[in-house]
Amino acid sequence: MIELFQIAVFQDNLALSFFLGICTFLAVSRRIDTALGLGLALIIVQTITVPLNYLIHNYLLVEGAWAWAGLPEVDLTFLKLISFIGLIAAMVQILEMVLDRYMPTLHRALGIYLPLVTVNCAILGASLFMVERQYNFEQSIVYGLGSGVGWALAIAALAAIRERLSYSNIPKGLQGLGMAFIVTGLMSMGFSAFAGMQI
């Protein structure tokens, strides 16, 4: 379990080794406080949706899931994408309402980042990886949490570097997007050094 968590955070970091959620990763990493807000939103949503998608996939979609209803040969796995994205959109909406009702300060802190998370490929990607790698229920919880933490860590680190970069003299054409890519590449190299680390 701890090993799975460590792999999800460092070695298989969603942003740096699978390029998931890179659009938001680059767009929202100008300042560290907004980056932390988005990272927190992503951890929460990820930890909830990956296990829920596991339940949906294994009890509704997988071949033989409808055997109790007398339909043993029904295979609905082709509906995987549409049901996952539907669940993610619904969860984000519900989470937003719950937070607004019970934790208004956190809701204000997350602001617009919560709805943005719906179209972040990291969330859908983690659910699809969960299916592809055939995790069980506990593993899916750990993987959801770990991959969320890893993504948040990466975006917070990039935001910190980019805040410092504003003091440096960068060639005109490289400013902004170009530099962000190269910094991300360097970070990705750093994270690849965690490969094979044992705890």
Partner 1 sequence: MAGKFHQITDPVIQNNPITIQILGICSALAVTTSLANALTMSAALTIVLIFSSMSISLIRNHIPSSIRLIVQITIIASLVIVADQFLQAYAFDMSQRLSIFVGLIVTNCLVLGRAESFAIRNPVWPSVLDALGNGLGYSSILIIIGTIRELFGTGNLLGYPIFQTIENGGWYEPLGFMALAPSAFFILGFLVWIIRVFRPEQAENPDYHLRTGNEARR
Residues engaged in binding partner 1 (CB under 8 A): 16-23, 26-27, 30-31, 78-82, 85-86, 89, 119-121, 123-125, 128-129, 132, 162-163, 165-167, 171-182, 184-186, 188-189, 192
**Left if phi > 0, otherwise alpha if psi is -120 to 50, otherwise beta: which for 111?**
left
- Hey, is 21 helix, strand or coil? coil
Q: Where are the beta strands (DSSP E) in 39-169?
A: none
Is residue 35 a contact partner of residue 28, using CB atoms and an 8 Å limit?
A: yes
Of 94 and 182, nearer to partner 1 (C-beta) is 182
Of 85 and 106, nearer to partner 1 (C-beta) is 85
Separation of alpha carbons 16 and 171, rounded Å: 25
DSSP secondary structure letter of residue 70: T
Of 8 and 16, nearer to partner 1 (C-beta) is 16
- Hey, is 97 helix, strand or coil? helix
Q: How far is the CB of 70 from partner 1 (least distance, A)?
A: 26
Of 52 and 123, nearer to partner 1 (C-beta) is 123
Q: How far is the CB of 197 from partner 1 (least distance, A)?
A: 17
Q: How far is the CB of 4 from partner 1 (least distance, A)?
A: 18
Of 136 and 175, nearer to partner 1 (C-beta) is 175
Question: For residue 41, which amino acid is it?
Answer: A
Q: How far is the CB of 27 from partner 1 (least distance, A)?
A: 6
The tokens describing 62, both together, are 């997988």
- Hey, is 54 helix, strand or coil? helix
Q: How far is the CB of 137 from partner 1 (least distance, A)?
A: 20
> In Å, how far from its chain's centre is CA 136?
19
